Amino acid sequence: MENRTFYNEILTDHNMRPGNKRRIDGANLSMEGINPSCGDHIVLELKEKDGIIVDGGFQGDGCAVSQASADIMLDLIIGRTKKEALALSDIFMRMIKGEASEEEIDRLEEASALRDISHMPARVKCAVLGWHTFEELAGEDL
């Protein structure tokens, strides 16, 4: 029950008060992500300088899970290199599939609250929308 409460508190906080749901002035990387099965969509914007993601934001609409997950992801990747951020994204995707170790999951900080989303198949695509969008965006630019 404690994990469920933790999950709900984090998702509610990031959905109601997303610190990264904003346009990024001077963004040099941008990509739209869409979940066609439910209509959730985001536009992810990143500002990269000297190989570091120095700022990031998103805009869009969707369920609480998709919007909160995108906000949590940005908290985690801002200040990191794309390589570091992609490694965290890989851990997140493996966590959702139940394939990440506890040590790896600990590296995800608040994103680890989404670990049980795999038990809610209808929500998996919502939780990974921002992460998939980031991987496509970062992969294009590598």
Which residues, at least 6 apart from 137, have a Cβ–Cβ distance to it below 8 Å? Answer: 29, 30, 31, 44, 46
Nearest in space to 40 (alpha carbons), one of 9, 15, 22, 65: 65
Residues 53-110: tens digit of each pLDDT = 999 999 999 999 999 999 999 999 999 999 999 999 999 999 999 999 999 999 999 9
pTM value > 0.75: yes
Confidence bin at 2 (pLDDT 50/70/90): very low
Residues in CB range of 67: below 8 A, 6 or more apart = 14, 15, 18, 21, 40, 42, 60, 61
